[in-house]
Structure formats: C-alpha cells, structure tokens
C-alpha cells in the first residue's frame, strides 16, 4: 500500500468517526521550547494545557515532524527518520482509553479490502504502563488480546509527561512482531523485532512536579481527560510495503536509487555503504522539508541543524565515491515523491533548490580549504616524526572549517596518521560548557520561568548535534 494511501485511509477513517481534519502545522511552530515540531500533539498543546478552548472535541492530522535526537539512529535502525510524518487522533475531554483503543484496533485490523490496514491480529502486541490495570482490561475486552501479548513496561517507556508540572499519563503502544529473524523472543527494548508503530497517550493525571521523565509527583486526576495518539506513517508504510526499513518505502527509496546511479555502487552490497545510502535519502528529504518550511542554513539553532543535515548528506555521497555536486540530482527526486502530499514543494522548488545547492557549494569550498590546512598539519606532524595529529588541530579544523571529526580521522588515516581524539573531545566539551554557561546566564537575565526545560535553540553552533531537540519527545 502506498504511503499516500495509508495517509488517505487514516484521515477518512477518523473523519468518518467525528474527527475534524486539521492540516499539518509547519515544522517551525510558534513554540519557544521546541526547535521543530516533533510530535502530532504539538500544535494542539494549548488545548491540552487548558490555555485555549478547542473548537472541536475530536481532531485528526498527519503532522510533519523532525527529531534531530534520532539522527545517529538513521540508517542503523530500521525505524528512525530525522523527518517523518505522525498520524494522530486527539480527543479533548471526549472519548478516553476505551474509545482510543477501539478506534486504533479497528483501523489496524480491518482488512485492506474494507478500508483498513489489515494487520494480522496474531502478530500484534500492546505495551501498557505497568500500573494501568484499566488499559490491560480494555486490551483484553476490546481487542481480545491474550495476556501473553500484553507487555507491562515502566515509566521510562510508557508514561508520558512534558518535563514540567501539568498533564501527564500512562501510554500504551501497539507493537508488531516482525519475526524471529529480526531479534530475540520478547526483547521489547531493542525495537526492531517488536516494532512500535502507534503510541496512545492517556492524559489523566495532574502532575505537581516533574524532576525527570520517570520521576514525578501526581497531585490528582485531571478535570478533563484527553487522548493524544501518534502513529508513524513511515513505519506503517514499511510494514505494509513489505520492505525492510523505512528508507526503502516509496517516498524515500527513489533517492537511494538515484544515489546508486550516481555512485555506481549497489545498495545491499555491504552494510557500511547501505547506511550511507540511507543517510543520504533521509537527510535529503529532511533538508527539502525544512527549507520548504522556511529554514535556511546557518550557524545556530534551526539553521545549524539544516546545515548539518546537508553536510552529512554530501559527506555520505563522498564516502560513496562521488566528489561532484549531487544535490541537483537527488533533491528533485525527493521532491517528486513528496509533492503529492505537499504541493507547496513544487511551487517553492526554485527557491528551495537554490538554498540547498548554495549550501552544498559552500561545504565543498570548506572541504577544499580544510583539506589544505589538514595537509599542512600532516606535513608538520610527519616532518617532526610524529604519527599523530594533535587534538587542537582537529578542533581547529572542526571549529574554523566545519570539519566533522570523522572526516578529519579518515583523511588523516589516508596519510597514515592517527588523531588525538581524546584531546579533541576535551576541547569540544570545554567549548560546550562555555556555551551552556552562556545560555544559562542569558536565560536568567530574561527571568524566563515559563520554559519547560533547557532550550537548545539559544545555544551556539558548538552544541553537540544529538542534544538538539525536544521538549516533548514521546508523543
């Protein structure tokens, strides 16, 4: 089933059950606590927080999301994109646990010939918060799940909160067993055998304090209980398209195919290259969607995330053996896959492609300049009889020329040299601490007590990329 069809079925299913269809918000949303929208509920936050009255009791959407926190997973797991689409259904004081479970189960198990997704019930599991006996009873009664396909998990996986006092509640996830060839029996944590594809959040508790995701105080029940669910569109697509991972679905794979053609290498030949192909396809699409929503490359915050994505894509193509510019070949392919759902990409493609190609050009010049500096450092090291490039040289290459450490490592290795990586990391950490202290003092100066958690947005370009998003991580 095509991704577009999965999306269509989702919206028409929930619309026919009384939900108002709400278009996706842009990736950059008016929320000071988030770099990017990273879950379907984000645009509805004022309703969940009771700050605004929703104009409907039920809503549904397919929301564009970016989670930079998942960047290191891309290509290595089967299931993490930096950009993905979260299908959501929401109840504002309307149906609660039983309604949410019944709707989800119906859509997931109704045969494809009758408009559903047609998953085989025997492969499905539900995870529940271990104290949520009510949810367990509902999964048995409404879905007919036997005990051994209901998994009790703790606060870390199955309790949702926003990192601050306010609404919270247990959640319940639908997992599918992809079979023993994908991992050990009942190993829920690893994630690729028992693939989580839909998370149902039952907002029922009023939290008076949240110290950590799994450390909070419940003051009592919320006056109005809400439902927030999120289903990964790409995850369902990869399951229903019978492919191995989300980089091989219809909306993503054509970029891999184009990269194969450019590089003359074959996807599927070896794992190292496969990860590079997947990174290219994922990052090109994320860059397309981010520029489409108005982000431009820069050295801070959102712009830096975009810059990193483009650089990683270009870099991965170089590791696949292509030194010439490649975005002019890859970006249009990604756009052609996404324009059916996002026609604005077609209209804006002149601007989008200019931004992307200019950034690729700039990075290629950076590589050239950095390479000269690197060559000088290599010659110096060699003539002094050293086999190691110093940490400060690696740091300078990173800081001044934007050389990622893996690039320095690899290029030094080509010259038969090591790099003092520990020294490099020490300098990076020092710089990070300075940036943090700086941000903290900025924040205190503004006396801003409304933030949920430390906002990475105001931190400089030297913050490690992986720490970048998110206030609401688990929808």
* Binding of residue 234 to ligand ATP (CB under 6 A): yes
Rounded least distance, CB 238 to ligand ATP, Å: 9
* Binding of residue 281 to ligand ATP (CB under 6 A): no
Q: Which residues pair with 159 in a beta bridge?
A: 170
In angstroms, the CA 469 to CA 31 distance is 12
* Binding of residue 92 to ligand ATP (CB under 6 A): no
* Binding of residue 67 to ligand ATP (CB under 6 A): yes
* Closest residue to ligand ATP in the complex (CB): 232
Looking at 19, 79, 285, 307, which residue binds ligand ATP (CB under 6 A)?
79
Quick one: 75 or 81, whose CB is closer to ligand ATP?
A: 81
Strands 388-389 and 418-419, sheet pairing: parallel
What's 115's DSSP letter?
T
* Closest residue to Mg ion in the complex (CB): 199
Quick one: 67 or 302, whose CB is closer to ligand ATP?
A: 67
- CB of 290 within 8 A of CB of 361? no
Phi, psi of 386 (to 5 degrees): -95, 145
- CB of 86 within 8 A of CB of 70? no
- The count of residues interacting with ligand ATP (CB under 6 A) is 20
* Binding of residue 70 to ligand ATP (CB under 6 A): yes
DSSP string over 235-256: HHHHHHTT-SSGGGSTTTHHHH
Q: Which residue has the tokens 């998942």?
A: 70
Quick one: 52 or 464, whose CB is closer to Mg ion?
A: 464
Q: Measuring CA to CA, which residue among 201, 271, 270 is closest to residue 230?
A: 201
Rounded least distance, CB 198 to Mg ion, Å: 9
Interface region with ligand ATP, contact rule CB under 6 A, candidates 26-34, 77-85, 272-280, 325-333: 77-85
Q: Which residue has the tokens 């105080």?
A: 217
* Sequence-separated (6 or more) residues with CB below 8 Å from residue 264: 321
Quick one: 196 or 360, whose CB is closer to Mg ion?
A: 196
Looking at 199, 326, 337, 396, which residue binds ligand ATP (CB under 6 A)?
199
- CB of 168 within 8 A of CB of 218? yes
Looking at 105, 119, 197, 342, which residue binds ligand ATP (CB under 6 A)?
197
* Binding of residue 263 to Mg ion (CB under 5 A): no
Selection from Mg ion, ligand ATP, none that 67 binds (CB < 5 to 8 A by kind) is ligand ATP
* Binding of residue 78 to Mg ion (CB under 5 A): no
- Token pair, residue 63, equals 């929301």
Selection from ligand ATP, Mg ion, none that 230 binds (CB < 5 to 8 A by kind) is ligand ATP
* Binding of residue 232 to ligand ATP (CB under 6 A): yes
Looking at 3, 63, 199, 229, which residue binds Mg ion (CB under 5 A)?
199
* Binding of residue 191 to ligand ATP (CB under 6 A): yes
Looking at 94, 132, 177, 196, which residue binds ligand ATP (CB under 6 A)?
196
Q: What is the dihedral of CA 47, 50, 51, 56, to 10 degrees?
A: 40
- Residues in contact with ligand ATP, shown as a per-residue x/- string from 446 to 475 under the rule CB under 6 A: ---------------------------xxx
In angstroms, the CA 450 to CA 119 distance is 43
* Binding of residue 193 to ligand ATP (CB under 6 A): no
- CB of 162 within 8 A of CB of 472? yes
Rounded least distance, CB 426 to ligand ATP, Å: 31
Rounded least distance, CB 336 to ligand ATP, Å: 21
Binding-site ranges for Mg ion (CB under 5 A): 196, 199
Binding-site ranges for ligand ATP (CB under 6 A): 67, 70, 79-81, 84, 86, 191, 196-199, 230-232, 234-235, 473-475
């Amino acid at each position: 089933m095509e991704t577009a069809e999965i999306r269509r079925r989702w919206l028409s299913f929930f619309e026919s059950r009384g939900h108002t269809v709400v278009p996706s918000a842009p990736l950059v949303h008016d929320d000071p606590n988030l770099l990017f929208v990273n879950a379907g509920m984000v645009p509805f936050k004022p309703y969940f927080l009771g700050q605004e009255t929703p104009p409907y009791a039920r809503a549904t959407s397919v929301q564009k999301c970016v989670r930079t926190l998942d960047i290191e997973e891309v290509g290595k797991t089967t299931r993490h994109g930096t950009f993905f689409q979260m299908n959501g259904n929401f109840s504002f004081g309307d149906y609660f646990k039983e309604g949410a479970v019944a709707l989800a189960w119906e859509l997931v198990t109704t045969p494809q010939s009758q408009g559903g997704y047609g998953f085989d019930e025997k492969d499905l599991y539900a995870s529940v918060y271990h104290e949520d006996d009510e949810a367990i009873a509902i999964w048995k009664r409404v879905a007919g799940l036997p005990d051994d396909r209901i998994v009790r998990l703790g606060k870390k996986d199955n309790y949702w909160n926003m990192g601050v006092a306010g609404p919270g509640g247990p959640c319940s996830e639908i997992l599918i067993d992809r079979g023993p060839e994908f991992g050990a029996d009942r190993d829920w944590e690893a994630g690729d055998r028992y693939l989580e594809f839909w998370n149902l959040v039952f907002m029922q508790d009023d939290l008076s304090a949240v110290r950590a995701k799994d450390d909070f105080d419940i003051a009592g029940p919320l006056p109005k209980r809400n439902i927030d669910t999120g289903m990964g569109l790409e995850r369902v697509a990869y399951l229903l398209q019978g492919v191995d991972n989300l980089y091989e679905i219809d909306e993503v794979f054509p970029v891999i195919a184009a990269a194969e053609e450019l590089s003359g290498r074959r996807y599927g030949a070896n794992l190292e290259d496969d990860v590079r192909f997947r990174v290219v396809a994922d990052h090109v699409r994320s860059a397309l969607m981010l520029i489409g929503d108005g982000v431009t490359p820069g050295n801070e915050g959102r712009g830096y995330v975009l810059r990193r994505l483009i650089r990683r894509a270009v870099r991965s193509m170089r590791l696949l053996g292509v030194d010439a510019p490649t975005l002019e070949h890859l970006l249009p392919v990604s756009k052609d896959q996404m324009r059916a759902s996002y026609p604005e990409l077609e209209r804006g493609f002149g601007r989008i492609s200019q931004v992307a190609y200019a950034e690729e050009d700039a990075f290629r010049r950076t590589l050239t300049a950095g390479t000269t500096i690197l060559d000088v450092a290599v010659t110096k090291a060699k003539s002094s009889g050293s086999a190691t490039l110093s940490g400060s040289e690696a740091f300078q290459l990173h800081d001044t020329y934007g050389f990622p450490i893996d690039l320095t490592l690899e290029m030094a290795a080509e010259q038969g040299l090591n790099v003092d990586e520990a020294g490099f990391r020490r300098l990076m950490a020092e710089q990070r601490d300075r940036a943090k202290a700086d941000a903290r003092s900025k924040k205190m100066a503004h006396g801003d007590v409304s933030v949920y958690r430390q906002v990475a947005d105001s931190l400089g370009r030297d913050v490690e990329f992986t720490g970048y998003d998110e206030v609401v991580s688990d929808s």
